[in-house]
A and B are shown apart, each in its own frame.
Chain A
């Protein structure tokens, strides 16, 4: 069969699963600077599914795309080490503060700049928001079918993909014409490791804004090996309307935030006395943990 063109949408996220003791500021808000950043776990599953299709269909080209701050180029390099062919960075201060509607608008504008695609893949959801919205929103804006919660691609032909979906109470196998968008469930296989050879090949891959002005070594290297330059697209490059991106393109706004529990705090040790147990129950109710 003909080679496929796959775009994998990836995101760098704060590691909310391993919140350290200093992750909360004294006022109870999240101290983003103190949280490590990681490759969003479900997105790594999506990358693996794309790489698996590349194993099955020789010549398949995988482009990873991320919207984020400059340092998010880390996950593009990580993807190149694991086997992705290209990476595209969508970065511009004006994209900041985007909710899922503005994010999907921006990503779709960038996807439309690409020549063509057969499959868009993304993780089911990102651990910083757990919304699972950007995938279906992109599919709607591209006017293509969506296959959510994919656990396995059973077969693929020139114009159709058959995939197994993991539902909350079961499984379902569906067929969809191409092009389509898939969101990939964490129950699918974990992503393969980085290849030493590819790490050597791509360790100097950089976006232009990552290269310091006086770094002659890097500039020369990139002139000699253009594949090391990760394209970086801003608002004008993708022809985005200002009113639809960033904070101004985001209908949902955070009115207020209330700290629930310092996950990393020391355990409270209680006895089985009435006052200890009632105190705990009242705390749990006040924190909306139960109620």
Chain B
């Protein structure tokens, strides 16, 4: 049976978080379909990469190891992946919805003349009846994603131009080791025979990657606190909630100035502008300096003692109450109801 394929991003001999999430999700899909899970890893000095990939239950790992493949550039990676996907003919291929995945996947979809769904948050397997053909297609990929600024969820399918490809948002899927001792077959890809000289015409002149783990811009959920949080200690409750929901903690300028939270987590005109799926504003009054940096969030929850706080006008839910009561209750009821 045709396999599920995952394109793994790797830098400095480390498989990216998103790729680990994809491997975990890919394994679940492969089990549902009763097919193998395969991964492709292109980079430099990859002799230790196998031990990072195999435990996710990967049956076969295609490794292309060449100094010219790192850092990522579109054309050489596209040549290698196009060749592999044409030859191996998988049914599903997954990429991260990252700067890399969103650059590579559409180029491949065009080369393979197949469908690609962007920024999915839920993947599943299911059937679909095509009326025009009077035919039921079994075991298709349901690629489910938010659309229209987050106001709807669309289930996108592709029944006739395979492989079925999707990019998946970061931090949405759970990372789960399948079997520490899982045995993978390794296939070394012959880079020189597949990549041409003209694949290297684009040259990287300079590169600055922020090592910081603060990534407010990409966080799907942000729990932000203002001066009303009151202390650095109280911020720990916000951190607990953020971690539980798979999000990040942010703060208003007043909270940063008061020393409750680091400057690199400031949201607003003089900080970062964010557009998360969910923004929880705790003890934030909502000065324009702050709201300018978060008003495009798809959903906003305001927790505030003051019913007249300006931020309440932007909010979808307004909770009138004490943070010290509300936040622990949110944590408790999330734990009780989450699947």
A residues with CB within 8 A of B: 14, 16-17, 19, 23-24, 28-30, 99-101, 104, 127-141, 145-149, 162, 167-177, 250-263, 265, 267-272, 274, 276-278, 280-282, 284-285, 288-291
- CB of B109 within 8 A of CB of A137, answer yes
Q: List 21 A-B contacts (CB under 8 A).
A: A30-B151, A128-B148, A130-B147, A132-B106, A140-B78, A145-B74, A167-B99, A168-B98, A170-B208, A171-B207, A172-B207, A251-B115, A260-B150, A261-B150, A268-B317, A281-B337, A284-B299, A288-B121, A289-B277, A290-B278, A290-B334
Q: How far is the CA of A134 from the CA of B151 in the complex (A)?
A: 23
Contacts of A30 in B (CB 8 A): 148, 151-152
Interface of A is mostly: mixed
Contacts of B326 in A (CB 8 A): 272, 277
- CB of B103 within 8 A of CB of A170, answer no
Contacts of A127 in B (CB 8 A): 149
- CB of B245 within 8 A of CB of A270, answer no
- CB of A253 within 8 A of CB of B156, answer yes
Chain B 292-336 per-residue mask, 1 if CB under 8 angstroms from chain A, else 0: 000010110110000100001101111111100110011001101
Contacts of B205 in A (CB 8 A): 162, 173-175
Using A132-B102, A251-B160, A255-B128 as known contacts, say yes or no to A270 and B320 having CB atoms under 8 A apart.
Answer: yes
**In whole Å, how far is B276's beta carbon from the nearest beta carbon of chain A?**
10
Nearest CB to that of A135 among chain B residues?
B106
Q: How far is the CA of A175 from the CA of B122 in the complex (A)?
A: 37
B residues with CB within 8 A of A: 71, 74-75, 78, 98-99, 102-107, 109-111, 113-119, 121-122, 128, 142, 146-161, 201-210, 215, 217-218, 221, 245, 277-278, 296, 298-299, 301-302, 307, 312-313, 315-322, 325-326, 329-330, 333-334, 336-339
**In whole Å, how far is B295's beta carbon from the nearest beta carbon of chain A?**
9
Q: How far is the CA of A29 from the CA of B154 in the complex (A)?
A: 10
Q: Choose among B110, B245, B318 the residue that contacts A267 (Cβ–Cβ < 8 A).
A: B318
Q: A172-B208, A258-B155, A272-B321 are in contact. List 12 more A-B contacts (CB 8 A).
A: A17-B296, A131-B119, A135-B106, A136-B74, A172-B71, A251-B115, A261-B150, A261-B299, A263-B151, A271-B321, A272-B320, A280-B319
**In whole Å, how far is A186's beta carbon from the nearest beta carbon of chain B?**
10
Q: How far is the CA of A260 from the CA of B117 in the complex (A)?
A: 19
- CB of B157 within 8 A of CB of A261, answer no
Contacts of A290 in B (CB 8 A): 221, 245, 278, 334, 338
Q: How far is the CA of A134 from the CA of B117 in the complex (A)?
A: 12
Most buried by A among B204, B317, B321: B317
Q: Choose among A101, A265, A288 the residue that contacts B153 (Cβ–Cβ < 8 A).
A: A288
- CB of A288 within 8 A of CB of B122, answer yes
Using A130-B119, A268-B318 as known contacts, say yes or no to A136 and B107 having CB atoms under 8 A apart.
Answer: yes
- CB of B203 within 8 A of CB of A175, answer yes
Report, nearest first, the 8 A-B pairs whose CB atoms are least far apart. Answer: A272-B321, A251-B115, A251-B161, A16-B149, A133-B106, A131-B118, A170-B209, A140-B110
- CB of A253 within 8 A of CB of B158, answer yes
- CB of A265 within 8 A of CB of B316, answer yes
- CB of A174 within 8 A of CB of B204, answer yes
**In whole Å, how far is B35's beta carbon from the nearest beta carbon of chain A?**
20
Q: How far is the CA of A28 from the CA of B152 in the complex (A)?
A: 8
Using A170-B207, A289-B278 as known contacts, say yes or no to A263 and B316 having CB atoms under 8 A apart.
Answer: yes
Q: How far is the CA of A197 from the CA of B122 in the complex (A)?
A: 51
- CB of B338 within 8 A of CB of A274, answer no
Using A172-B204, A260-B152, A272-B319 as known contacts, say yes or no to A148 and B122 having CB atoms under 8 A apart.
Answer: no
Q: How far is the CA of A100 from the CA of B158 in the complex (A)?
A: 13
**In whole Å, how far is A48's beta carbon from the nearest beta carbon of chain B?**
19
- CB of B107 within 8 A of CB of A146, answer yes
- CB of B118 within 8 A of CB of A146, answer no
Contacts of A272 in B (CB 8 A): 319-322, 325-326, 329
